[in-house]
Amino acid sequence: MPMSRTGIWNSKGFTFLELAVVLLILSVVTALAFPVIRSLGSSDLKLSARHLVRTVYFLSNRAASTKRVYRLNYDLKEHQYWATVRSGEGEFTSVDASVLTRTTLPRAIQFVDADTLHQGKVTEGEAYTDFYPVGRVDKTTLHLTDEDKNVLTLVVNPMTGRVKVYEGYLEESGKKG
C-alpha cells in the first residue's frame, strides 16, 4: 500500500491475509473460551448453594434481631424455597416480599433431599428449617444437584446458624452416600 504525504497508510480495505489472521485469532479465542463457557452451567450449582447459604444467614440474623421465629420452606418438587414468619397466633405467614421473595432454583438445579430436625429425611414434597430468636436453628442437611449429577451438601449448624458446604453427597454423619 502506498504511503500518503503525511506518512499514514492509505488503505481502502483489508487484504485477504489480514482477514485470515483475524479469523484465526477469533477461532483460537473461541476454542479456548468454549470449555469455560460450557462449565459456567455447573457453576449454577455453586451460585444456587451460595444464595441458599446467604438466605440461611439472613433468616438466622433476622430471627435474632426481631425476636420472632422464622421458617425456611423447601418445595422439593417445584425446586423452590421461601421464608415465612410465625404470627402471634402461631401460624406461619409469608414474609414481606421486600424482605425475601420465593426463589426458584435454576432449571438445571434441583433439591435431592432435605434432612431436618423435625421431619427427618424428606425426598419429596415440602420440608422446612426453623430459626429461633435465641440464635438457634434446626439442624438441617440439604443436597443440591445439577444436570451433570454434581452434588453439593449444605449442613446447617444448629448452634451458630452457619452453613458448611461440601462437594458430593454426605449423610448427616459425614459419610459419603
Judge whether 114 lies within some domain: yes
Judge whether 16 lies within some domain: no
Calpha distance 43→108 (Å, rounded): 11
Domain count, the chain: 1
pLDDT of the residue at 8: 58
Judge whether 14 lies within some domain: no
pLDDT of the residue at 10: 60
Domain hosting 118: range is: 42-167
pLDDT of the residue at 137: 96
Calpha distance 33→25 (Å, rounded): 12
Judge whether 118 lies within some domain: yes
Digit-coded pLDDT (tens) for 121-170: 999 999 999 999 998 999 999 999 999 999 999 999 999 999 999 999 99
Instruction: Select the highest-mean-pLDDT range: 1-5, 21-25, 94-98, 120-124.
Output: 120-124
Judge whether 15 lies within some domain: no
Judge whether 177 lies within some domain: no
Q: Which residues contact 91 (CB under 8 A, 6 or more apart)?
A: none
Q: Which residues contact 122 (CB under 8 A, 6 or more apart)?
A: 74, 76, 113, 114, 115, 116
pLDDT of the residue at 39: 46
Judge whether 22 lies within some domain: no
- Please report, for the domain that includes residue 96, its CATH number: 3.55.40.10
Judge whether 90 lies within some domain: yes
Digit-coded pLDDT (tens) for 79-115: 999 999 999 888 999 988 777 889 999 999 999 999 9
